[in-house]
Amino acid sequence: MTLYTKPKRIWLRQHPVLSENWVQDIIAADPSVLGLGDLVLRDRERIHPRAGRLDLLLQDPETYKRYEVELQLGATDENHIIRTIEYWDIERKRYPQYEHCAVIVAEDITSRFLNVISLFNGALPIIAIQLQAYEVSGHTTLVFTKVLDQVERGLVDEDEDAISAPTDRSYWENQKATPKTLALMEKVFDLVKEADPEVELKYNKFYVGLIKQGRAQNYVTFRPNRTSMTLEPKLPRTDETDAMLEAAGLETLEYATRWNHYRIRVTEKDIKTHTDLFRQLIDEARDRREG
């Protein structure tokens, strides 16, 4: 016999204990609960002079996209949507190197208000998420449902990340990647050191770069995660390089136009089969930087 417990819907706006700060704590600890991907927390209660505080600033470590998130318990209202758009506008003007998306989270997004938000969605990237709280067997659970997705439309300034968010190998092994994907990264890094023996790995919050004699040398960067490892040689996109990667059967992600680097998924088999190709890409990227 299958046991079943009927969940009881509760409204946080009226709850005597559970507050907006409590919801913020949950999202800040695990931004993936929003259903927007494996995001990381960049800031919380971010002060905007003369505009108030942005509840949460989240970022996708793979695409560098930033999400300006505003929470509201209860139903959405005019003030809430105005604040959401205002914070998004302030952040995109302050940091134009990023892609930005406004996110509105509320317990009740009414059909009338959803129609209003939809009017903006063609002109600015905005996502609406309905938050529902339930009581199940004495525990409270939250369900986030995306009711309006953005119409798709860059990238992190590497120097900002390197200065503001240095980390170490332990951080990457325990929180971002795995011993296996870090080992893949280090095998490719061995190819870097063949021609540049003084270079070392520099662990930053969103990527692993290179450092030499105290200075960043990011002609190649790495992004290991839980399932794979991405190599990013800084090279202009050319038909010749595209054809070479395609012929090798390597999995390439969208070319990062703003920062002029390829994004190549690397497997254990790739390293063994295409050692010379990886060495060539690394050498070309280094030569371009030094030249």
pLDDT at residue 276, as a whole number? 95
CA distance 191 to 278: 8
How far is Cα 274 from Cα 67, in angstroms, rounded to an integer? 37
* In the chain, % of residues over pLDDT 90: 45
Work out the average pLDDT over 67-91: 88
Tokens 């505009």 belong to 51
What is the rounded CA–CA span in Å between residue 267 and residue 13?
49
3-state secondary structure 57-79: EEECCCCCCEEEEEEEEEECCHH
Element (H or E) spanning 215, and its range?
Answer: strand 215-216
d(CA 137, CA 139): 6
Which of 119-133, 169-183, 184-198, 227-241 bottoms out in mean pLDDT, i.e. has the lowest?
A: 119-133
For the domain 8-148, what is the CATH code? Answer: 3.40.1350.10
HSE of 11 in the Cβ direction (CA atoms, 13 Å)?
6
pLDDT digits (tens, 9 = 90+) for 51-62: 788 999 999 887
Contacts of 69 (CB under 8 A, 6+ apart): 27, 34, 54, 55, 56, 57, 58, 103, 105
Task: Identify the helix (H) or strand (E) that includes residue 23.
Answer: helix 20-29
pLDDT at 234 over 50: yes
Q: Are the C-beta atoms of residues 56 and 72 closer than 8 Å to each other?
A: no
Strand partners, 134: 9, 141
Residues in CB range of 161: below 8 A, 6 or more apart: 204, 205, 206, 207
Determine the average pLDDT of the residues in 187-212. 93
pLDDT, tens only, 253-286:
878 776 788 999 999 999 999 999 999 999 999 9
pLDDT above 50: residue 45: yes
Q: How confident is the model at residue 12 (pLDDT cuts 50, 70, 90)?
A: confident
Number of other CB atoms surrounding residue 127 within 10 Å? 22
pTM exceeds cut of 0.85: no
Q: Which residues pair with 200 in a beta bridge?
A: 211
Residue 220 backbone phi and psi in degrees, to 5: -140, 135
Could you give phi then psi for residue 219, rounded to 5 degrees? -75, -15
Per-residue pLDDT at 94 exceeds 90: no
The domain spans of the chain are 8-148, 166-290
CA distances from 117 to 99, 113, 127, 150, 284 (A): 20, 6, 9, 11, 48
- Residue with the bigger pLDDT between 178 and 157: it is 178
What's the CATH number of domain 166-290, 3.30.460.80, 3.30.70.2500, 3.30.1490.20, 3.90.1150.20? Answer: 3.90.1150.20
pLDDT tens-digit series, residues 103-135: 999 988 877 777 777 776 667 888 889 999 898
Identity of residue 139: H
